[in-house]
């Protein structure tokens, strides 16, 4: 079986119904002698899994990563969505738990996916166990001229997955494989199969078919806000939908955080919390007052709870990049800092995990959802105004005007806090834009967001450097207190702090130009166009 041109079919009948297979065999016997091949290569049990990051980075890049288990270890196969092979690599053992691409042994698959997936872990999205049987198709001389490979597949969604624990049996899959030098015979067999009752061409690959059977869709997780809202919808309903969408994202990330699969689960969870807090603050006027007030406190608690672990994650993720900046000190000098950060992170993570398993968090999740569902689905008469579009218009306009006023007052002599405040306001505007994205004209929206993003990057650079510089100094104090800081380490940390100060000064110098672009006449015009479209009732 050297050549492997595959012609794939799928039975229309469910897994337990053999009538289609009988029909397939009978169609093939019009031209061939059909006989079982007990010793055929590839026959028996086949175990496979498809891997991707939680946020489908490989899928988004048009790639599919398959792990085929062998008796010992297995093979990783990277292919394009259309099945074209891209890279292949042997691995010695089945990854027991989701792993980072960094943890794979060197090889072509690792090389291709490292940048794409980092820092996310590779999770088994679907596991498949199949029973493969092979039938030979013989010509009049009794020579095998093609083979029919029948595969019965059971698929499961492994734990740590949005469809965890679900199992499905797929309808049998049939494939004609070519024997080298007999392409015509394989074509003929495929044509006969295509005509058999209950057999149709496989329109989906096995991975896609498995996802469908498990009730999933590729790219069914995104950390973005894509609530279903319309312009004419009463504002409370739109806000409830938005907050429910954020709550979904938050909840989806909890198992990944608790299993500590990768750092981005916590990051996405925090973004959902921040967005929720902003939504309550900026749009809370359409919610019952006591509800908004209570959850303002609860989500602040949740946000604060996650901060120490995330800050340490950021330090550790950027650690190598940080050591590369060193000129005077050696990267080895910083290793005690890395160890210190890792110890602290472990401690903070335990505290975080305990709280996420605790009653307060559970209550937030359950009661908040209940309240939002009531708000969304309430029956009977209610106020139709303001509409979602009216709310978008008033809040977005107000937010933009605040930034303009705030930013214009900033001079080179202003303290860092003023830039920090502006950054928060800019983030709020960004969230408002994202919340109401479905109501905006896409072109006008992209223009405003692009300007805003430039400004946010500059403010973020300024603020992050400031915060990190203070943190380095606090870490130095803490390490000294624990006698965990050799002099060389402290000196290296001093150099890092100096680098951060340089970066911060550069960001500060950039500020005026970026702000000018965003809030100057052209920038204002772009916002005016965006909001003018809004008043025309675009959906």
Partner 1 sequence: MKIFATYNIKGGVGKTTAAVNLAYLSAADGHRTLLWDLDPQGAASFLFRIKPRVKGGGKALIRGTKALDDAIKGTDFDRLDLLPADFTYRNMDLLLDTAGKAGAGTRPTRKLARLLKPLAAEYDHVFLDCPPSISLVSENVMHAADVLLVPLIPTTLSVRTLDQLTEFVDGFNGHRPQVRAFFSMVDRRKKLHLEITRDLQAERPGVAATPIPALSMIERMSVERAPVSAFAPGSVAARAYRALWSELQQPPKELLPL
Residues that bind partner 1 (CB under 8 A): 1-3, 40-41, 136, 141-144, 179-182
d(Cα 169, Cα 14) in Å, to the nearest integer? 8
Nearer CB in complex with partner 1: 142/415: 142
- Closest by CA to 227, choosing from 528, 434, 477, is 434
Q: What is the nearest approach in angstroms of partner 1 to the Cβ of residue 178?
A: 8
Cβ 35 to partner 1 shortest distance, Å: 11
Tokens standing for 337? 């800092």
Q: How far apart are CA 175 and CA 81, in angstroms?
A: 19
Nearer to partner 1 by C-beta: 3 or 354?
A: 3
Which residues face 148 on adjacent strands? 135, 176
- In the bound state with partner 1, the residue whose beta carbon lies nearer, of 142 and 380, is 142
How would you class 106 by CB atoms within 10 Å of its CB: exposed for 0-12, middle for 13-18, buried for 19 or more?
exposed
Query: In the complex with partner 1, which residue's Cβ is closer, 2 or 297?
Result: 2
Residue whose CB is less far from partner 1, 40 or 342: 40
Closest approach, Cβ 486 to partner 1, in A, equals 56
What is the DSSP code string of 125-136? EEEEEEEEEEEE
Q: Radius of gyration over alpha carbons of the chain, in Å?
A: 29
Contact 217, 253 (CB under 8 A): no
Q: How far is CA 503 from the centre of its chain?
A: 30
- The residue assigned the tokens 């016997």 is 29
Give CA–CA dist 55/267, Å, rounded.
12
Of 31 and 490, which has the nearer Cβ to partner 1? 31
Shortest Å, Cβ 142 to partner 1: 6
Rounded CA gap, 239 and 279, in Å? 8
Closer by beta carbon to partner 1, 37 or else 495: 37
CB closer to partner 1 out of 4 and 522? 4
CB nearer to partner 1: pick between 41 and 165: 41
> CB of 506: closest distance to partner 1 in angstroms?
54
* Rounded Cα distance, 407 and 411, in Å: 9
DSSP β-ladder status, 167-169 and 173-178: unpaired
| Minimum gap (Å) between residue 146 Cβ and partner 1 | 10
Q: How far is the CB of 192 from partner 1 (least distance, A)?
A: 20
Task: Give residues with Cβ within 8 angstroms of 312, minimum separation 6.
Answer: 341, 344, 345, 348
Q: For partner 1, which is the closer residue by CB, 70 or 509?
A: 70
- Side-chain half-sphere CA neighbours of 366 within 13 A: 6
Cis peptide before 386 (omega within 30 of 0): yes
Minimum distance, C-beta of residue 147 to partner 1, in the bound complex (Å) = 10
CB of 139 to partner 1, least distance (A): 8
**Least distance to partner 1, CB of residue 91, Å:** 21
Q: CA-CA distances (angstroms) from residue 288 to 150, 283, 284, 374?
A: 60, 11, 8, 12
């Amino acid at each position: 079986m050297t050549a492997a041109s595959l012609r794939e079919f799928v039975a229309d009948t469910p897994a337990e119904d053999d009538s289609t297979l009988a029909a397939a065999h009978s169609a093939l016997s019009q031209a061939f002698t059909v006989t079982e091949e007990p010793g055929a290569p590839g026959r028996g049990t086949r175990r496979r899994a498809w891997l991707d990051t939680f946020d489908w980075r490989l899928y988004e890049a048009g790639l599919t990563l398959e792990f085929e288990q062998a008796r010992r270890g297995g093979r990783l196969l990277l292919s394009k969505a259309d099945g074209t092979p891209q890279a292949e690599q042997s691995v010695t053992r089945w990854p027991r738990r989701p792993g980072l691409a960094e943890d794979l042994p060197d090889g072509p698959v690792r090389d291709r996916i490292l940048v794409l997936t980092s820092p996310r872990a590779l999770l088994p999205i679907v596991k498949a166990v199949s029973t493969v049987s092979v039938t030979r198709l013989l010509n009049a001389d009794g020579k095998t001229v093609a083979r029919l490979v029948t595969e019965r597949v059971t698929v499961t969604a492994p734990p740590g997955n949005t469809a965890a624990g679900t199992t499905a049996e797929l309808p049998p899959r049939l494939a004609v494989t070519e024997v080298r030098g007999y392409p015509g015979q394989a074509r003929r067999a495929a044509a006969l199969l295509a005509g058999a009752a209950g057999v149709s061409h496989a329109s989906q690959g096995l991975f896609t078919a498995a996802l469908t059977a498990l009730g999933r869709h590729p790219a069914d997780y995104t950390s973005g806000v894509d609530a279903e809202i319309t312009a004419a919808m009463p504002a409370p309903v739109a806000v409830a939908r938005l907050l429910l969408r954020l709550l979904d994202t938050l909840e989806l990330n909890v198992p990944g955080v608790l299993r500590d699969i990768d750092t981005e689960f916590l990051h996405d969870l925090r973004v959902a919390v921040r967005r929720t807090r902003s939504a309550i603050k900026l749009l809370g006027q359409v919610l019952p007052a006591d509800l908004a007030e209570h959850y303002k406190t609860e989500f602040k608690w949740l946000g604060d709870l996650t901060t120490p672990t995330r800050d340490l994650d950021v330090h550790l993720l950027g650690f190598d990049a940080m050591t590369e900046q060193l000129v005077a000190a050696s990267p080895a000098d910083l290793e005690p800092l890395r160890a210190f950060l890792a110890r602290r992170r472990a401690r903070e993570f335990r505290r975080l995990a305990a709280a996420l398993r605790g009653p307060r968090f559970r209550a937030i999740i359950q009661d908040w959802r209940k309240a939002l569902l009531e708000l969304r689905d309430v029956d009977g008469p209610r106020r139709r105004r303001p509409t979602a579009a009216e709310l978008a218009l008033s809040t977005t306009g107000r937010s933009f005007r605040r930034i303009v006023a705030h930013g214009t007052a900033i001079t080179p002599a202003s303290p860092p806090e003023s830039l920090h405040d502006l950054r928060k306001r800019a983030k709020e505007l960004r969230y408002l834009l994202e919340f109401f994205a479905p109501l905006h004209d896409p072109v006008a929206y992209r223009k405003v967001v692009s300007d805003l993003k430039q400004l946010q990057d500059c403010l973020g650079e300024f603020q992050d450097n400031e915060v990190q510089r203070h943190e380095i100094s606090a870490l130095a104090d803490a390490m000294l207190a624990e006698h965990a800081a050799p002099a060389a380490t402290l000196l290296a940390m001093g150099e890092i702090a100096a680098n951060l100060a340089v970066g911060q000064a550069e960001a500060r110098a950039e500020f005026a130009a970026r702000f000018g672009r965003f809030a100057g006449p052209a920038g204002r015009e772009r916002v005016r166009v965006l909001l003018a479209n809004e008043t025309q009732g675009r959906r």
